[in-house]
Structure 1
Amino acid sequence: MRKTYTTLSEQEIVRIYEMRRDIEVFFKCTKSFLRLQKNSNPKEGVLMVPYIGQIQAFPYTFAPHNWVLCDGRLLQVNENLALFSLLGTTFGGDGRTTFGLPNLTGAEPDANMRYYIALDGSYPQRS
């Protein structure tokens, strides 16, 4: 093992340690922020992650990504296991291969809004 001896002034040592501390604080803050924001797109800012099965009205003529219009349609159980585990056959389907979504067509608070249900997100915990 080779030893290296350098002579640094006390001020230089303090400056280096302060820089190191600033860098460590920066990375800890960044790591914490990224852990909180891992499901969001940095270009869009902070996004809330919906619960699977959450129903929300949107003023869109299209379903947002991972949301489906609440129009009573049948979905495949094997493609939506988490949502099926929450809804079961409450809104239709045979419970083996299909299950139904709620039909909220006509229940919107405004003619320009539609109700959508989240297919993906956080699984709601029971109390």
Structure 2
Amino acid sequence: MNNVSKGLLVLLLFTLGILACRDSSVPENLIEEDEMVEILTELQKTESELSRLNLKSYDSAVVAMDYLRGQILKERGEDTSSYFASYDYYGSRPKEFARIFERVEERLKDLEAEQSEGTIYRKESEGRD
């Protein structure tokens, strides 16, 4: 089991444990499953990049991740309220939540394969001709 799989499994189990007793009614601002997969994929990539920065303080990492989460959601036309409501909703449905994280893991593997083939370029390299 690679690091991505372990990280996703730990996150999934932790979240399921916390959310097991929450209200599971459908929120008005529910993010559709496909969009949730894309958001969680972007968040996982961002968290991975952030961890490589070796920030000295846990607080700094939390603040940075909160800011970056907000930016990702803004770029996708979502807000933190709808994200957390959707996360709680899917988290209260273990089968759906597991399916979402399986799709995130597959998406990350696909991106990793594309990157190793050289078909993905970092954003910083765009426009440097």
State the TM bucket, normalised to the shorter chain: under 0.3
Rg comparison, structure with higher value: 1
Q: Which has the higher contact order (CA 8 A, sep 6+)?
A: 2
Q: Which has the higher strand share?
A: 1
